[in-house]
Amino acid sequence: MSLGTPIFQADFSTAGDLIGQANLIGGPWSSGNGESLNHPAGKVDTSASSAMSLLFAQMTCGAASGGNVTLSFDAVAASSGDTSGNTEGWAGVSFYIDDTEQFFSGIVYTSVAPCNANPCRCWVGRAYTASGTELETVCVDKDMAAVPAKVTVTYEFDTGTYSMTKVKPDGQTHSLAIQGVASTGLNRVRIGAAANNQGDIALT
């Protein structure tokens, strides 16, 4: 998992509790709700904890005028089977500014198109206002086999546009663009998942 080097680069190489572990670039991992999360070397799997996962790391600096911030991560199947169609399930990776979520990329149970009147599990992109109110959710991949996949999200500081691409091992590619808030100084990354293993994700 890397983010616009040298702003942030995760390090999952040391097995043990992720909380407090250093990253290659950026601040160490911290918990937003006091949880601990033990993981094997090279992989973080939120299903190792039944608590809601709110795992944060600080970038070395925030997004700035004239630049883009790009987040790339490899998502694999969680031991719990991620959301498993649970209506309360969600799991993914987010951009934050301080304590406010700005963009989410991950799996949710949703009624946005193409699910509509028949809510289904989708890999989505979701943009928020500066205060954290949802702006728009777009389903990019309605597929029960949503992972493994390589996901890339880019934020354009001056326009506020988020672009997301999800590529599966067979080369199948899904892309979207969502209008977010311009001039947002994104400065944190979060790995998140629903409580009680209603939604989980694993990253390598």
Whole-number pLDDT of residue 100 = 97
For residue 118, count other CB atoms closer than 10 A to its CB: 7
What burial letters (b/e) apply to 139-149, b meaning 16+ CB within 10 Å? Answer: bbbbbeebbeb
Whole-number pLDDT of residue 89 = 79
Q: Are the beta carbons of 100 and 181 closer than 8 angstroms?
A: no
Cα 198-107-77 angle, rounded to 5 deg: 75
Whole-number pLDDT of residue 85 = 54
First to last CA, the chain: 7
For 47, list phi and psi in degrees, rounded to 5.
-70, -5
Whole-number pLDDT of residue 60 = 86
The Cα–Cα gap between 184 and 160 comes to 8
For residue 62, count other CB atoms closer than 10 A to its CB: 16
Whole-number pLDDT of residue 130 = 93
The Cα–Cα gap between 81 and 163 comes to 27
- The residues that bridge with 124 in the sheet, in sequence order, are 106, 139
Q: What is the pLDDT along the chain (204 residues), one digit of tens a residue?
A: 555 456 889 999 999 999 999 999 999 999 998 889 999 999 999 988 888 889 999 998 777 777 889 999 998 877 765 544 567 778 999 999 999 999 999 988 888 888 888 888 889 999 999 999 999 999 988 865 567 899 999 999 999 999 999 998 899 899 999 999 999 999 999 999 988 888 888 898
Whole-number pLDDT of residue 156 = 93
Give the C-alpha distances (Å, rounded to integers) separating 108 from 7, 67, 146. Answer: 28, 30, 11
Structure tokens at 50: 């039944």
Q: How far is CA 65 from the centre of its chain?
A: 23
Written as one string, the DSSP assignment of 29-84 is: PEESSS---EE-TT-EEGGG-SSPEEEEEE-SS---TT-EEEEEEEEE--TT-TTT
Whole-number pLDDT of residue 2 = 52
Q: Are the beta carbons of 147 and 77 closer than 8 angstroms?
A: yes
Whole-number pLDDT of residue 39 = 92
